[in-house]
Amino acid sequence: MPFISVKTNITDVQTPNGLLKKLSAALATATGKPESYVMTLLDSGVPMTFAGSEEPCAYVEVKSIGALTPPAMSDQFCELIKSSLGIPKDRIYIGFDDVNASNWGWNGRTFG
């Protein structure tokens, strides 16, 4: 049920699968939930601006049923994206969403 999505205007991500695997492991650790439930998504080459500039930037969404600690996770994921993609931390926004179990579907049912 934990999910992390990264959208970036960088078009040439060198090792997309490597980044997705790092994000998956980090999210599992950060939430304390099994990695077998973690989903990752990378959408590169997205037309986007930050502060009126087309310099590299990213928007990250983190969703989970509970187990979110935005203050701790924000720096962790900004650092991971910075080291993987070279995007400065001050050009990354992260949205955290603590989803109600009845609003999260999987395997033909919901968790709540």
Residues 6+ apart with CB under 8 A from 87: 8, 10, 56, 57, 58, 81
Query: From CA 107, how far away is CA 97, in angstroms rounded?
Result: 21
- Catalytic annotation on 2? yes
Query: From CA 29, how far away is CA 23, in angstroms rounded?
Result: 10
Query: How far apart, in Å, do the first and last CA atoms of the chain sit?
Result: 12
Q: Which of 2, 16, 47, 56 is catalytic?
A: 2
Active site residues: 2
